[in-house]
Structure 1
Amino acid sequence: MNFALRILATAVATALAVWLIPGISLTADTTANKALTLVAVAAILGVVNAVVKPFTQAISACLIVLTLGLFLLVINALMLMLTSWLSGQLGLGFEVDGFVSALLGSIVISLVASVVASLLGAGKD
């Protein structure tokens, strides 16, 4: 149940990022297809953050310490760009145009997903 709530929170956050950030787009014709695409993108983002992100953080630990953690924003943007690429490979209509859009989108997604997950009680056992 906790996993489903986190996916839902990430899907809501991604929808808000698509709405707010001009360089992030979602191409689907119906509302149902948009919702399914957002859920699929949220699942892909979850897998990317669980599998790839720990390796990138371990490799760039010195940069993270040197920049007092600000390099984590760059890593989050790169994870969103990787999610966009994987979504394109799977035929989903989710696209991030550039690094600045990915940086702003990753900030929006992180903040909103945290708030929505806490409101839904995703962290409770």
Structure 2
Amino acid sequence: MKLIVKLLLTALAVLVLSHFLSGIIVSNYVTAIVVAVTIAVLNMLVRPILIVLTLPVTVLTLGLFLFVINAIIILLAGKLITGFYVSSFFSALLFSVLLSLFRSVLFTFLKEEK
């Protein structure tokens, strides 16, 4: 149940960010949910491979290269999903940073009590 809520919150963040960023276009609500699911799957499958392949650069930049990896994931999602358009690398970079911030704020409300 918590996974579904997180995916819906991510879809909400995708919709909100697409209204404020000119380089990101989401056609409708269903596409935003598909984008949230696709980003989650790409983060599980592709992101670890990219992190391992770029480990020296990531260490050299003190982890800042992870922002580039997140932007690559967003660009890849833009290529895979019709109805989700990313205009440039810098739009994807800004979108990924803002999406991470939105998700961290939204997910603080879902913390479990012990």
Identity of aligned residues (%): 36
Deviation per residue, 1:23-43 (Å, 9 max, x gap): 00122xxxxxx2211111100
Distance 1:66 1:25 in 2: 34
Distance 2:41 2:3 in 1: 11
SS at match of 2:33: helix
* Larger relative contact order (Cα-Cα within 8 Å, sequence gap ≥ 6): 1
Tell me the matched-pair count.
113
Query: Aligned Cα RMSD in Å?
Result: 1.3
Alignment-derived partner of residue 103 in structure 1: 93
Residue identity in the other structure for 1:21 = L
Aligned structure 1 segments of 4 or more residues deviating by more than 6 angstroms: none
SS at match of 2:22: coil
Alignment-derived partner of residue 37 in structure 2: 43
TM-score by length of 1: 0.85
SS at match of 1:22: coil
After TM superposition, give the deviation of residue 124 of structure 1 in Å: 2.6
Distance 2:112 2:45 in 1: 23
Distance 2:47 2:33 in 1: 20
Structure 2 unpaired stretches of 5+: none
Match of 2:48 among 54, 65, 69: 54
